[in-house]
Amino acid sequence: MTKKQKKMLKRIIAAAALLILVKLLTAFGPLPEQGLLTALCYLAPYAVIGWDVLYKAVRNIRNGQVFDENFLMALATVGAFGTGEYAEAVFVMLFYQVGELFQDYAVGKSRQSIAALMDIRPDTANLEREDGEIEEVDPEDVAVGAVIVVKPGERVPLDGVVLEGSSALDTAALTGESVPRDVAAGDAVISGCVNQTGLLRIRVTRPCSESTVSKILDLVENASEKKSTSENFITRFARYYTPCVVIAALALFLLPTIALLVVPAASQPAFLLGTDWANWLHRALIFLVISCPCALVISVPLSFFGGIGGASKCGILVKGGNYLEALAHTETVVFDKTGTLTKGTFTVTAVHPEADFTEEQVLEYAALAEHWSDHPISLSLRAACKADLDASRVEDVEEIAGHGVTAKVDGKAVAVGNSRLMERQSVNWLPCELPGTIVHVTVDSFYAGHIVISDLPKEDARAAIADLKASGVKKTVMLTGDAEAVAKAVAAELGIDEYHAELLPADKVDLTEKLLSEKSQKGKVAFVGDGINDAPVLSRVDIGIAMGALGSDAAIEAADIVLMDDKPSKIATAMRISRKTLRIVNQNIWFALLVKFGVMILGAFNMATMWEAVFADVGVAFIAILNATRCLRVDEFKK
């Protein structure tokens, strides 16, 4: 408990003790049930427990904010005192404050859970000075280019590149994944990760204000500013609802009271018989207690706040409740291919030798010829070749743009490239039915064979598509600039409903516009990309989702939802979290409204007492808040 909560608890205990004492004095002692002395005795516990409510009500009226829960409670309890219901007045204020304490505690616990979850920014950094000494400083005081030391068990304070050392980094706070990431000299590291094993010397590449952890914290902290439709509805609802119920309560008191004065007793309708003005005032006061909208005003924003916090536990950053709500209504998911559904790295998937050449020879000639190139295809050829590649065996290397490479390997003329290079050398080449990039190889103008290089799908890509369809997504679409054959093969392998190949960035935007025009009125369109090359599409769709954005500033800026790792399966997880959140929000709205309106009607017909009124206000708010905190529990989604 906080200091403020402990103070309130003491006030509640003190007021309850005084109330019990006064009740005993009226029941068994010298105090009468009514009278000025009794009223003064009841004022003591009332003042202890309710002075702040009265003060806030008066202050808000002075500031022009008349209709709030403090005003309703003040009016109801003061009115109860006026009708001689002293004990009820104190009981109502006491239970209202008990409910407020529980609400404050529940909200505080939720905020603490999210604060603990996002407590990923270290307070200090170990700065290495020029003389080799280590100085503990504030991360904000570390300049770009400085060297910091991160010991085992410490959190990386700033983004940088490892200069010396190797270790395993725990990225769970950022990605939600428990598998550590191995790093060594030359690898980039980002702030917020926990260094598990070895000592690391890191050269800082970004100032603290621009580090990954700062951007993530800013994103989560500002998420509450982008309110969902439900939150905006509740805000507007409370603005009109409270004045309406006050007017209704006033009418409930005045109309029957005037009728009792004007209409002769013999002509009075049945509902007025046996009643007086005090009875109708009591009913109106019960009506006011019931009508407090705090259950909705607190629980609905808390549900979205909890949903955003729960998603961040799974490595999913949501920029606002509006995006979390929209995700629950997503019917069409559009994917970029490279780096989203596929690994984004080329891999040799087949070697087809011709004539008297072997697979190993074809691969070795190709890898040696491409030895000096940094092209992704060249890197994949070298990675696949198991033979030792001696660069001294290669000479006269010539790279032909848009065609390939020619070189002399062991004195033999070797050409490695596409079909245009083969035609340029007047070599008869053989086509290949396998999808992917085809690299042809010739040795001394003889066709030695070809190598198939593919961008392989991610391990969970197929399961992710199936999971989305099981989650209610009606259509999955893949957009890519790759060749038709490659796109067709990937779409078939992953179970994607529709694909479009050989697209330019502008084509992707046009196709997205078409999908947006075809969607249902309530359905939403989400686009999943890397957040860098696909920024125009990400900003156009209903929900832009950046994939594999660990350390990517552009992805965090461009997208509405950021997945902090490379797993497309997280999209279905995000949708499940959003639907759970929306389900809890709707439960709270309907539960609060049905109970309140039900007890209001009972109160108007004198069938509900102050006790039912207190439950309809404090009890309903407490139950709704407890239900809202369920949004933070996401263990079933992490599995």
Among positive and negative, which fits the CA dihedral 118, 124, 129, 134?
negative
Per-residue HEC secondary structure of 89-140 comes to HHHHHHHHHHHHHHHHHHHHHHHHHHHHHCCCCCCCEEEECCCCCEEEECHH
Which phi and psi (to 5°) does residue 550 adopt? -60, 105
- DSSP secondary structure string for all residues of 308-324: HHHHHHTTEEES-HHHH
Per-residue tokens: 25:
């004095």
Which phi and psi (to 5°) does residue 176 adopt? 80, 0
Whats the size of the chain, residue-wise?
639
Q: Beta-carbon neighbour count of residue 475 at 10 Å?
A: 18
Integer Cα distance of 71 and 73 in angstroms: 6
Instruction: Please indicate whether residue 159 is annotated as part of the active site.
Output: no
Return the ∠ at Cα 578 (arms to 573 and 580), rounded to 5°: 95
Tell me which of 68, 336, 542, 566 is the catalytic residue: 336
Burial 565-602 (b: 16+ CB within 10 A, else e): bbbbbbbbbbbbbbbbbbebbebbbebbbebbeebbeb
Which residues 6+ apart lie within 8 Å of 373 measured at CB?
A: 399, 405
Per-residue tokens: 423:
């035609």
**Which residue bears the tokens 């007492």?**
609
- Helices 461-470 and 484-494 cross at an angle (nearest 10°) of 60
- Among 508, 571, 502, which Cα is nearest to 540's? 508
Per-residue tokens: 121:
């920014």
Integer Cα distance of 174 and 384 in angstroms: 33
Per-residue tokens: 392:
């001294």
Give the residue numbers annotated as catalytic, written as ranges.
336
